[in-house]
Amino acid sequence: MNEIPDREARVLVVDNEAVNVTMLTKLLDRVHLGQIEGVTDSSLVMERVRDFDPDIVLLDLHMPAPDGYELLRQIKELTSGGFLPVVIVSADITNEARDRALAGGADDFLTKPFRMTETVLRVRNLVRTRGLHQALNRQNTQLKSKLELQSALDEDAARRGRRIADIVDDPDNNLTMVFQPIVDLASQRVVGNEALARFSAVPIRPPNEWFADAAEDGLDLHLELAAVRQALAGAHRLPEDTFLSVNVSPSTLRSPAFGELIAEQTERRIVVELTEHDHIQDYTPINDAMHELRRLGCRLAVDDTGAGFASLHHILKLQPELIKLDRLLVTDIDTDPARAALASALVKFSDDTGAQLIAEGIETAQEQATLTELGVHFGQGYHLGRPAPLPIDAAIAALL
């Protein structure tokens, strides 16, 4: 017989004869079953069940009131939501006593004098069964929690999808485009405007969160196309000698629907600004799509250059006409030699490759002056002009 149980148990021995409690305690302790407590006073049994939280109860039937049958009933009622095995240990060998105890919920019945091996094995088996029952309950609880969480996530995703669908279906009431000027740093002339989406749909959140939700729900193409349509719809109100920059992800850039939208725009120079900076497995489809878009007069811009490897990799693979310096590189460039050195290197790179640089996030006159001195071609930022709805001419004039 294995002397070590599968798990350490808490055993409650209930018998009005102290000698019986002592004998059972020594027997179970000898095989290292676990922690064992004894109770001889019937009136204290239920209190010990609650406080000790046993894994099994060994219960004598014939005790002063409340007797074993009543204690069995109370124990089973208290633990009705779980499984606490109760083994009757009694000198009453009559069928009536056995049947009554088993009918009352007893899980086993041992008669005195009991056999040591049989008693230990039956107790250990019931302890193991309780352990399995508790493990199953924990698994069921965890599974229920996971199902409830998944249900909540599914419901949230459905609501999110409906909100995005409402924006796509009715962009005039949910989606507004604002335009931020892009300025020639040397001449201070506005050369282009970047179209930026603003959402009035509830909940009010930053645009990047709406686009991230749309991507998660597989609606990114629809939402991006809705934003591009809104931008192109107002393009005729922009100064004629400026270009319009629209932001799209690689998947939208490759879509035929985007190409059709651009093909309809015959009176405006369009810059396609690639917004995604995750790893792209295959650049061929993007370059193929840009080949057709360039045939329509479009140019490509890659933004956030200097913020990480991905944007630099995009530049090498896509050879954009416009390279946008990340605002982290631009901020404090007038006082940080390292930033200035990196920007200077990118100026040389752009000159050698025929691209033009646009510095993003210019906030001060000092930053603008340093960038101009370094040879950066264009810039945008709050110092040069904030994003504004159409018409923007007066607003731009006031800020320049």
Identify whether the C-beta of residue 299 lies closer than 8 Å to the C-beta of residue 271.
yes
**pLDDT for the residue numbered 158:** 83
Domains, the chain, ranges and CATH?
A: 9-139 (3.40.50.2300), 170-399 (3.20.20.450)
Residue 277's pLDDT band, with cuts at 50, 70 and 90, is low
CB 293 within 8 Å of CB 262 = yes
pLDDT band at 186 (very low <50, low <70, confident <90, very high): very high
Of 267 and 244, the structure prediction assigns the larger pLDDT to: 244
Q: Residue range 277-282: average pLDDT?
A: 74
Q: Cis omega before residue 389 (within 30°)?
A: no
* Token representation of residue 106: 């007893």
Helices 256-263 and 284-295 sit at what angle, rounded to 10 degrees?
A: 20
Q: What is the pLDDT of residue 6?
A: 53
- Given pLDDT bands bounded at 50, 70 and 90, which one contains residue 172? confident
pLDDT, tens only, 358-396: 999 999 999 999 999 999 999 999 999 999 998 665 444
- Look at 61-75, 202-216, 295-309, 358-372 and tell me which has the smallest mean pLDDT: 295-309
- Residue whose C-alpha is closest to residue 298's, from 237, 246, 354, 350: 246
293-311, pLDDT tens digit by residue?
Answer: 999 999 999 987 655 556 7
Percent of the chain past pLDDT 90, that is, above it, reads 60
Amino acid letter, residue 350: S
Mean pLDDT of the chain: 88
Residue range 26-59, pLDDT digits in tens: 888 888 888 999 999 999 999 999 999 999 999 9
Q: pTM here?
A: 0.64
